[in-house]
Amino acid sequence: MWKRNIVFRAEEAIPLEQNENELFHETAPALDSSGLRMDTYISVWLQGDGDEQAPTVYTSMYVRTATLDPVKKVGFLQPLQGRTHQIKTMLSVQQKLYLRDWLSSTYPQAWQEADENFQSIFSD
Q: pLDDT per residue over 6-26, tens digit each? A: 999 999 999 999 999 998 877
Q: pLDDT per residue over 32-47, tens digit each? A: 777 888 899 999 999 9
3-state secondary structure the chain: CEEEEEEEECCCCCCCCCCHHHHHCCCEECCCCCCCCCEEEEEEEEEEEECCCCEEEEEEEEEEEEEEECCCCEEEECCCECCHHHHHHHCCHHHHHHHHHHHHHHCHHHHHHCCHHHHHCCCC
- Percent of the chain at pLDDT > 90 equals 71
**What is the edge-to-edge ordering of all strands in the sheet holding 39-50?**
2-9, 39-50, 55-69, 74-77, 28-29
Q: Give CA–CA dist 29/118, Å, rounded.
A: 32
Largest Cα–Cα distance in the chain? 48
Query: Is 101 a residue whose pLDDT tops 80?
Result: yes
More confident site: 60 or 34 = 60
What pLDDT sits at residue 122?
Answer: 93
Q: pLDDT per residue over 66-79, tens digit each? A: 999 888 888 888 99
What pLDDT sits at residue 11?
Answer: 93
Query: Is 63 a residue whose pLDDT tops 90?
Result: yes
